[in-house]
A and B are shown apart, each in its own frame.
Chain A
Amino acid sequence: MATLKELAKKPKFFTNGHRGCAGCGAAIVARQVMMATEGNVVVANATGCLEVFSTIFPYTSWNVPFIHSAFENAAATISGVESCYLALKKQKKIDKNLKFIAFGGDGGTYDIGLQSLSGAMERGHDILYVCYDNGAYMNTGIQRSSATPKGANTTTAPAGKVEQGKTQKKKDLTAVLIAHHVPYVAQAVVGDWTDLTKKVEKALSITGPKFINVFQPCRLGWGYDPSKTVEVGRLAKETCFWPSYEVEKGKYRLNYDPKDKKKPVTEFLKPQARFKHLFKKENESLLKEIQQDVDDAWQNLLKMCKCTNE
């Protein structure tokens, strides 16, 4: 893996000057994923924050071939691009070796783009799909998605006098992708650049469909100080709210194990305004429930790591 010094010297394939918010986690995802490539990549992007803030005509932050067409179809679009590459390569119209990366937010991936993603993964295209999961429709103004965590306050599942934010659990999309039995699936967080870089490098070295689900703090939708993006991302990992792990050819591997230093989930929830109401006295049981969900999922993950490597 490249060192941080080496990475910093690389040409910028995703450049600065975009219109992301101060402290935008999605821009960090794009920057780090692109840094982990050699620039020989073609990018497709679903409609969403990243596409909107990085391609305002006549400007573009993409120093690689880039295509956006709609919201729910980044995976189908990149399938077409990759298929055309194979056809043109066969005819010797292209001699370069290219890699293909699609980016989508959680709305474009967990929800409206799930079918397109599932289809592309099943068909076995040689692509890497990166979901930047900030747990709501941030681009349209913080509406709940199936990636929104239980209890979070969003504009379509607000915390009110009767309801305490989203009542349902977050969809486990990573598990859905693992069930596609593709060669590589991983979870990562914003805030651990070595882990994400390694995962992208590894994914791009593998032929076939790959999926990386990057948990991405959104200062606007989550409600924290813009300087805390990396910190909040790390807390998601350290509380095991968003474990960092990978599944390669069916074998689970934990990339971060807090062992006996596992932090309580409240440390992740507390700095975020979207969970503020959970800290009222009357919502204690809800906090407990969330902790229990995290613990159960963590135990389950440990079991999977053990049993798939026996």
Chain B
Amino acid sequence: MADKKLTVARTGNEAMAEAMRQINPDVVAAYPITPATEIAQIFAGFVADGLVDTEFVTVESEHSAMSATIGAAAAGGRCMTATSSQGLMLMAEMLPIASALRLPIVMPEVNRTISAPINIHCDHSDTMFVRDSGWMQVYCEDAQEAYDSVLMGIKIAEKVRLPMIVSTDGFIISHCMANMDLIDDRDVKDYIGKYKPQTWLLNPEKKITIGCLDLQDYYFEHKMVAIDAMRNAKSVIKECCEEFGEKFGRKYGFFDTYKMEDAEVAILAMGSLAGTAKVVVDNMRKTGRKAGLIKMRVFRPFPADELARAVSGLKALAIMDRSDAMSGLEGPLAVETKAALYDSAGKPKIHSYVYGLGGRDVQISEIENVYKDICDFAQAKKKFGENVTYLGVRE
């Protein structure tokens, strides 16, 4: 399979739409929102040209997009939608319903900040807002990863029976063209296989009631099944990533590491910042600093043990959050990483940064300063006044 290499230039949105074409879902229900609009728009072109068999439902809101997708997935189909920012927020009510109903919906998402003030550019506030909705979450660095993750997502979601968000950084990835390798249509078809739902509304053999009123006597047990599914999802993700790597030659995990073998200081980041940070790691290495990078891909389920192992032995770690949960603490990645390391013996010193809100550009020089600062922090040459630094914000 892997030797059929089809190298193309695609934007993040084109790559995710292409994955959707190859998946050929039974139903796609979607609503336009910048910067994710193109995904549904490109897909509509596939529908119009007869390239997919999908029933495409042009709903009147994202709430209905998710509601129709839930209805269709519960009915027994392989179903998808796509959104961003305010759209995701409007879907928010329906997201835990999709996960509790154990519907393996895969949703390409484009990270855009949330209002107010209204702003269409990238940060991770939108998906972080719904991080506790029972959806698996994968953050992608580039178009290739987004494409691969959507395909893998189908397999993972259907095995785990939980929905998944696969996101790219708005405009930075969604609208920028990059070289990537496509997988042959037939190979995708073989890889994802046919969808066989366990229970489905339209099953003529068995009439079922979905969405019962579930009171004090049963709710907890039913919720527990979904909680367990998320806890067990890690093993499925691991297996699926390994299988994908063997089949198609691109290896993914809960996170990817760059020059971590002998690293003394590292950055933990998500999404497109990883690309910038890799350049900086190389620059740092030239100046004798043993710098490394951990690019977090899977945020839900949170790979706590794996992350604790990956950072053990580091002298200092900088955690980069592209959102602030307004918790009065730090960004969500920092808070959760710290929680993950609580029981870890070899945990590094940690300082966290919130950067790039509302699409504020991040320069190489700024990331170089982050590395330099945590090098000094590691050697106790620098103290931070607070646990978190807001990077690139004017005072």
Nearest B residue (CB) for A62: B209
* A266 proximal to B (CB < 8 A): no
* A22 proximal to B (CB < 8 A): no
* A123 proximal to B (CB < 8 A): yes
Select one of B71, B207, B209, B214 contacting A80, CB under 8 A.
Answer: B71
Nearest B residue (CB) for A59: B212
Nearest B residue (CB) for A102: B71
Bound Cα distance A44, B29 (Å): 17
* A86 proximal to B (CB < 8 A): yes
Q: Contact at B212–A60, with CB atoms within 8 Å?
A: yes
A-B contact count, CB below 8 Å?
Answer: 164
Interface residues of A in 64-114 (CB under 8 A from B): 64-70, 72-73, 75-81, 83-88, 90-91, 93-96, 98
Q: Looking at the complex, which of A24-32, A48-56, A147-155, A283-291 is the stretch in contact with chain B?
A: A48-56
Taking chain B's interface residues, is the majority helix, strand, or loop, or is none over half, making it mixed?
Answer: mixed
* A: number of interface residues (CB 8 Å): 47
Expressed in whole angstroms, the minimum distance between the Cβ of A111 and any Cβ of chain B is 14
Select one of A68, A81, A90 contacting B75, CB under 8 A.
Answer: A81
Bound Cα distance A115, B64 (Å): 9
Q: Contact at B70–A123, with CB atoms within 8 Å?
A: no
User: What 0/1 readout, one digit per residue, does chain B (190-226) give for beta carbons within 8 Å of chain A?
Assistant: 0000000000011110011111111100100010000
Select one of A55, A69, A88, A120 contacting B209, CB under 8 A.
Answer: A55
Expressed in whole angstroms, the minimum distance between the Cβ of A52 and any Cβ of chain B is 5
Bound Cα distance A58, B209 (Å): 10
- Which residues does chain A contribute within 8 Å of B201, judged by CB atoms? 42, 65, 67, 81
* A292 proximal to B (CB < 8 A): no
Given A60-B212, A90-B53: A76 and B79 within 8 A (CB)? no
- Which residues does chain A contribute within 8 Å of B211, judged by CB atoms? 51, 55, 66-69
* B57 proximal to A (CB < 8 A): yes
* B58 proximal to A (CB < 8 A): yes
Q: Contact at A65–B71, with CB atoms within 8 Å?
A: no
Expressed in whole angstroms, the minimum distance between the Cβ of B124 and any Cβ of chain A is 26
Select one of B26, B60, B68 contacting A88, CB under 8 A.
Answer: B26
29 residue pairs A–B, Cβ–Cβ below 8 Å: A42-B201, A51-B211, A55-B212, A55-B213, A57-B215, A65-B208, A67-B209, A67-B211, A69-B71, A69-B74, A70-B97, A72-B63, A73-B64, A76-B67, A77-B71, A80-B73, A80-B74, A80-B75, A84-B27, A84-B75, A84-B76, A87-B53, A88-B26, A88-B76, A88-B202, A116-B60, A116-B64, A119-B59, A119-B64
